[in-house]
Amino acid sequence: MYEKEVEANLRRLVQNGEKLGVAVSGGADSVALATVCVAYGRKTGNEVVFLHFEHGIRGEESLRDMEFVKKLAGRLGVKCIVERGDAAAEAEKEKESLEAAARRLRYDFFVKAAEENGIDKVAVAHHREDLAETLLLNLIRGGGIDGMTAMKETREPFFIRPMLRCTREQVTDFLERHRIPFVYDSSNDDVNYARNRVRKELVPLMAEMNPDIVSALMRAYDILLAEGSALQGLADERYQACAREKEGWVDISLDLFDGEPLAIKRRIVRRAIDRVGCITDVELKNVDDIIGLAERRRTGKWMEKNDFRAVVSYDILKICSKSFIIDKYGVFFGKTLEEAARISDAPLPGCFPEESSATQYISKSAAEGAVVRRRRDGDVIRPFGMEGTKKLGDWFTDKKVPMQKRDAAPIVEQNGRIIWVVGYGLSEYARAGEEGAVKVEFGYENGEERDV
């Protein structure tokens, strides 16, 4: 039975005393999961909280769903946390599909709600047919093993899928047996959405060739999952052999890396990118570009993709975040500004570079004798345009710089005064006066392989 299977999974996935959030849209799947989770919580003492995100897509119908979930929570005696957004505006702003924007906003809300309310796990209502559809979608997009097995029972940071092996038929049967009401999302009928088209057109077409197509796709999923796990285990061993993790970057020995099969190379590179905190939105092309860079072994050649950089330094491939500045020998600190960057006399421009630019104009006097270093305990900065100083950590916080990137930020210092935090902003001490300015370039061109 559906409820017994879900409860058994909850016992494995949720620890005693953990607070459980349940993503509830109001549809059949999420209402079934929410009902079982509440019953489970009453037996075990785990507190259950409903989470609902209203995307602003379907007008009155969307508001109806929100009110339905609130009333369901009230009827079951649990707290309901609701947030509203505008997925259409977000999709236009970020140049992404409406589906992608809605999903991103929804999961951002789940994470925020969990952090603000002490929720330890968030359960989402994906079932076997959802898994089969996801496999097909990623296959159509040209995904590999990891893409086709992306939907798993657990997902970082705290998401769980207690009904992933249950069928849609089991869900429907559970709701009918217990006469549990739910709402229907009319957008599920719109085949302009890729997932709906797969569900309503592709899967039925495949079922004409194999009536048990979902079971067949599940078998394929399980095979891919096992083989992907084995391949990743081998890649992890080879990563340990050829990679050395430093403070904010990874060095990969090209002598050892070169002999690996392409599949292992790709996983080594992806793990290195992940270790510097930049794996989001990394595509196969990005990974293969880095492998190509490594194979050419031209010292001083480097490239930048998304939020990370890769550079060849003799027999080493270095991978680091954008916060690092790279010269032809790799990532540097402890050099003079003159050694680390290109400095030239230049009149002040009519339009100054953005704070995030690796090229800035600073006073000549500030550049003299300046060095490049990491941040230190007790660092203070005099923000540009301000009279007083501020702790560098507070300044980073004001600029919303993630903690993991702060130690990687190159700091230009002169005689104990911070002149420039490269990639984040100048200090008041960089302001050019009568003595004139110099142009300082750590320059790079986004997305291009180049010499420095």
Do residues 310 and 343 share a domain?
no
Residue 16 lies in a domain: yes
> Over 70: is that where the pLDDT of 327 sits?
no
Q: Where are the alpha helices (DSSP H) in 282-336?
A: 284-296
Least confident stretch, 3-7, 145-149, 321-325: 321-325
Residue 328's pLDDT is what?
40
What number of helices (H) and strands (E) belong to the chain?
A: 18, 23
Mean pLDDT confidence for 7-31: 97
For the entire predicted model, the pTM comes to 0.70
Residue with tokens 């259950």: 48
Do residues 41 and 117 share a domain?
yes
Do residues 98 and 179 share a domain?
yes
Least confident stretch, 21-35, 69-83, 174-188, 319-333: 319-333
Q: Which domain holds residue 16?
A: 2-128+138-192
Residue 309 lies in a domain: yes
Residue 216 lies in a domain: no
Residue 452 lies in a domain: no
Nearest to 78 by CA among 119, 21, 7: 21
> Over 80: is that where the pLDDT of 339 sits?
no
Residue 446 lies in a domain: no
We report the CATH number of the domain holding residue 297 as 3.30.465.60
Do residues 165 and 20 share a domain?
yes
Q: Record the tokens describing residue 416, joined without a space.
A: 């104990």
Give the three-state DSSP class for 417: strand
Domain boundary among 307, 331, 355: 331
Do residues 325 and 374 share a domain?
no
Residue 449's pLDDT is what?
41
Domain boundary among 305, 331, 357: 331
Amino acid at residue number 212: D
> Over 60: is that where the pLDDT of 332 sits?
no
Residue 96's pLDDT is what?
87
Residue 308's pLDDT is what?
82
Domain count, the chain: 3
- Highest-confidence segment of 120-124, 183-187, 331-335: 120-124
Residue 113 lies in a domain: yes
Do residues 280 and 175 share a domain?
no
Mean pLDDT confidence for 80-94: 92
Do residues 346 and 276 share a domain?
no
Mean pLDDT confidence for 384-389: 90
Q: Record the tokens describing residue 358, joined without a space.
A: 């690796």
For residue 306, name the pLDDT band (cuts at 50, 70, 90): low
Do residues 298 and 358 share a domain?
no
Do residues 264 and 169 share a domain?
no
Least confident stretch, 49-53, 351-355, 409-413: 351-355
Do residues 82 and 97 share a domain?
yes
Residue 337's pLDDT is what?
82
Is the separation of the CB atoms in 440 and 422 below 8 Å?
no
> Over 50: is that where the pLDDT of 450 sits?
no
Do residues 354 and 323 share a domain?
no
> Over 70: is that where the pLDDT of 214 sits?
yes
Least confident stretch, 84-93, 354-363, 440-449: 440-449
Domain boundary among 316, 331, 346: 331
Residue 115's pLDDT is what?
94
Residue 437 lies in a domain: yes
* Beta pairing, strands 342-345 & 359-363: unpaired
Do residues 355 and 380 share a domain?
yes
Average pLDDT, the chain: 89
